[in-house]
Structure 1
Amino acid sequence: MLAIDIGTSEIIILRDGDVVLQEPAVVAVDVENRKRIAIGSEAKKMMGRSPEYIEVIEPIRSGVIVDYEGARLMLKSYLQDVMGRNWFVGPEVITAVPCGNTQVEQRAVIDVLLEAGARKVYLIDAPLAAAIGAKVPISDVFGNMIVNLGGGVIEVAVIASGGIVKVKQIRQGGGFVNDLIFDYLVSQYLLAAGKQVLEDIKIKLLSVVKLKKEEFIDIGGRDLLSGLPKKIKLSSTEVYELVRLDMEKIVTLMKSVLEATSAELVSDIIDRGVILTGAFAKTRGLDLWLSREIGIPVHVALEPEFSVVRGIGMVTDNWDLYRQSLR
C-alpha cells in the first residue's frame, strides 16, 4: 500500500515507511497530441523556457485537480517509477485531501489515481493525516490544534477523540507569497521574474519577523519597458513588509477556529500548544510570531513538509487503528 501526498507544488510518495519519490507537481506535454514530454524536475526546468509546441502544466491548484489529463499523466508516471514498469496488479493507495473539497473534487482525486494505475483509493482529511504524522495522539479526548500550511491550502483544525472537531481553511497556501513578490517586482521595479527566481527569493529572504541583520539577493528578469535583461538587488526588509499584512490571514483563521471551539478544548490547546505542519511551516520566525499573536505556544513539527505523507504512511502500517479515520 502506498501513501501519496498530492500537493499543489509537489508529489511525495511513501512506501514501507520510506519516502521513495519527491518530485514537483509539473508535467510538460506536446500541445498537438497531448503526449507527455517531461515530468517533475525536468518539466519544472522548462517553465518559461519551452517552445510554443510544449505546454508546461501545474495540474494541481489549491488542493484541487485543475487539469485532469495532466494529473493523470503525471501520477501514472510516478506510480510506474515507484512500482516498476512491469507491475501487473495496481497498488492500493491512501491520499490526503483538504477538508473543504467538494464531493466532485474528492471523486476527481479517486478517479485520476485509478486511471493512473491504482487498484483501490482511500481518502483521509489532510489535517488529520498531518496530526498523525506529527505524532499527535489524536485518539485522546484532549484537544489539539493543527495548522497545516500547504502550498495551495491553509487549514486550521481542532482534533480530539480520533476526529476533527472544528476546521476552517483558506485556499491560499505558501504559494501566495510568490504571487505577492511577482506583483511587487512588477510595480516597484518594472521587472518580470520567473517562477524559480520567485521561489529562490522566498527561500532565502522570507521571514515574518524583521531580521536584525538585513539580507540581500541579486535577482534577474526581464525589463517590462525595454524587454531586455535586468538585474536588481532585493532586500529582506522589502519582502518582510510585503508579506506581513497577508500573514495576518493565518492569525485570523486560527482565532476564528478557537472562537468556535468549546472552552474545554481551548484549555487543552493552551496546555499542549499549536502544531504547525506543511512546508510553509519552516518560514523563519513564523512559530514565534504566531505564538505572540494568539497567546498560545506554537511548535513546528519535525520535518513539517513530510507530516502529511508520514501520517498517511502510519495509517497504512496501523490499518485497524486508523481505518475509521478514512473516508
Structure 2
Amino acid sequence: MAFTEEIGIDLGTANVLVYIKGKGIVLEEPSVVAVDEETDEILAVGQEAKEMLGRTPANIIALRPLRDGVISDYDVTERMLKYFIKKTCGSGRFFRPRIMICVPSGVTEVEKRAVREAAAQAGGKDVFLMEEPLAAAIGADIDISRPEGTFVIDIGGGTSDIAVISLGGIVASTSLKVAGDRMDEAIVKYMRKKHKLYIGERMAETLKKEIGTAFPRPEEVSYTCSGRDLVTGLPREVEVTSSEMMEALEEPLQQICEATHSVLEKTPPELAADISTGGIIITGGGALLYGIDERIKQRTGINVKIAENPMDCVAIGTGRALENIDVLQKSAINRRRRFK
C-alpha cells in the first residue's frame, strides 16, 4: 500500500522551506545548487552550495535555479526539489507525497506548468499550486474566507507580491520583480559608485541584514565592509553607515511603495474601508528590513504591522492550505457562483 505524505513547499528565489503536516517546518535551505559542468553531477544543495557562491573553480558552478520568482533552470530545479523531498520525507518505491507549492500572483500559465511538472517529476503524487499572498495570509493566522478586506505585502527574494484578499480569493493584486535580490543588487551598485569598491552578493546581503534600513534610525549604526578596490585591484575595507544603506535602497523601496499605492487605488471602496481599519500586514524576508513598516505607513497613511515569523508565513500557509484543500476548492467554486 502506498504511503502518502502531505507537504507544503515555499519554492522561493532565495530559500526553500518545507512544511510537513503534523510536524511544521522541517527544512529551510537556500535555493542554491552546485553543479560540476563536466559531469553534470550535483555536488551540493542548499546551505552547502551557498557557501560556494563566488568561490568555485572553473568546472564547478554554484547557481540559483529560480530567478524573479520563476524557474530559470528547469532541470536543476527538479533535481533540487527531489533532493529536498528525499531529505525531509525519505524515499521509497511507493512513496508519492501530495505537494502544495506557492507561486507569485503574477506568474503565467506556462510558468505555473513548469513548477507543477518539476514537482511531479521530483516525486509528487498530486501537485497543487497556490498564490503566495493567499498562503502568506493563512500563515499569518488571517481567516481569508471572511467577507472582509485583508491587505498583504509578501516581500521575498525574487518578487514582492501585494494583494487585497476577501472571501478566500484575491480581489486586487500586483507582483513586481523587486524584492530582496534587487536590494542586494542596489547595494552592490551603490558601493561601486560611492566607494569604488566591488563587493559580492553575499557581502551585499550581509550589509542589508546588519545595517539595511528603510526608515531613519534613531541612532546611526555601521558595518565594516570588505571587497576589492576598483582602482588598485587590491582588497580593501570600508566602514558603511545605515544612512548610506537607506540611500542605496531608495529605488527598490520606492518601487514597492508605489506598487502598494497602485493596489490600494484598485481596491473597491468597501474593502478599502476594511483595510483602513485593519491595516496592512507584511510577510517574507523583506519584512525583516529595519523600518519597512514605517516606510509603507508614511507612504499610505495606513497602519502597518509585521507578521510573526514573517519568513515562515508562506510555508506554514501552504501546508495549512493543503490540509484544507477540499474546503478551499469548495470556497473557490462558491465564490465563482456568487459573482456570476
Q: Is TM more than 0.5 here?
A: yes
Contact 1:124-1:325 within 8 A present in 2 as well: no
2:95 partner letter? V
- Whether 2:9 is the aligned partner of 1:9: answer no
- Whether 2:52 is the aligned partner of 1:50: answer no
Post-superposition Cα deviations, 1:191-246, rounded to whole Å, max 9, x if no partner, equal 22122211110000111111222111111112223322111111111111221343
Q: What RMSD in Å do the two structures reach over aligned CA positions?
A: 1.5
Aligned to 2:3: none
Residue 217 of structure 1: which of 197, 215, 223 is its match?
A: 223
The correspondence of residues 111-260 of structure 1 with structure 2, limited to 5 A, is 111-260=117-266
Give the whole-Å Cα distance in 1 for the aligned partners of 2:320 and 2:123. 22
Corresponding pairs, count: 327
Give the whole-Å Cα distance in 2 for the aligned partners of 1:308 and 1:323. 19
Give the whole-Å Cα distance in 2 for the aligned partners of 1:81 and 1:164. 34
In 2 relative to 1, CA 324–207 (structure 1 residues): closer, same or farther, beyond 3 Å?
farther
2:130 partner letter? I
Paired residue secondary structure (2:252): coil
Contact 1:96-1:126 within 8 A present in 2 as well: yes
Paired residue secondary structure (2:299): helix
Aligned to 1:261: 267
Give the whole-Å Cα distance in 2 for the aligned partners of 1:25 and 1:59. 7
Give the whole-Å Cα distance in 1 for the aligned partners of 2:106 and 2:262. 16
Give the whole-Å Cα distance in 2 for the aligned partners of 1:147 and 1:292. 15
Post-superposition Cα deviations, 1:98-146, rounded to whole Å, max 9, x if no partner, equal 1111111000001111111212210011111111111112111111111
Residue 33 (structure 1) shift = 2.0
Single out whichever of 184-193 and 263-272 deviates more from structure 2.
184-193
Residue 42 (structure 1) shift = 0.7
Paired residue secondary structure (1:82): helix
In 2 relative to 1, CA 141–281 (structure 1 residues): closer, same or farther, beyond 3 Å?
same
Give the whole-Å Cα distance in 1 for the aligned partners of 2:192 and 2:250. 19
2:104 partner letter? P
Gaps of 5+ in 1: none
1:130 partner letter? A
Give the whole-Å Cα distance in 2 for the aligned partners of 1:290 and 1:155. 14
Paired residue secondary structure (1:246): helix
Aligned to 2:337: none
Give the whole-Å Cα distance in 1 for the aligned partners of 2:128 and 2:325. 12
Residue 155 (structure 1) shift = 1.4
Give the whole-Å Cα distance in 2 for the aligned partners of 1:124 and 1:246. 26
Paired residue secondary structure (2:249): helix
Identity percentage of aligned residues: 36
- Whether 2:107 is the aligned partner of 1:101: answer yes
Contact 2:185-2:201 within 8 A present in 1 as well: no
Residue 301 of structure 1: which of 296, 304, 307 is its match?
A: 307
Contact 2:157-2:181 within 8 A present in 1 as well: yes
Give the whole-Å Cα distance in 2 for the aligned partners of 1:138 and 1:319. 14
Paired residue secondary structure (2:101): strand
Give the whole-Å Cα distance in 2 for the aligned partners of 1:325 and 1:178. 39
Give the whole-Å Cα distance in 2 for the aligned partners of 1:26 and 1:50. 13
Residue 171 (structure 1) shift = 1.1
Paired residue secondary structure (1:155): strand
Contact 2:168-2:332 within 8 A present in 1 as well: no
Give the whole-Å Cα distance in 1 for the aligned partners of 2:320 and 2:79. 27
Give the whole-Å Cα distance in 2 for the aligned partners of 1:133 and 1:325. 18
Single out whichever of 248-257 and 317-326 deviates more from structure 2.
317-326
- Whether 2:272 is the aligned partner of 1:288: answer no
TM-score, with structure 1 as normaliser: 0.96
1:45 partner letter? E
Paired residue secondary structure (1:247): helix
Residue 37 (structure 1) shift = 0.6
Residue 76 of structure 1: which of 82, 87, 103 is its match?
A: 82
- Whether 2:267 is the aligned partner of 1:270: answer no
Gaps of 5+ in 2: 1-5, 334-340
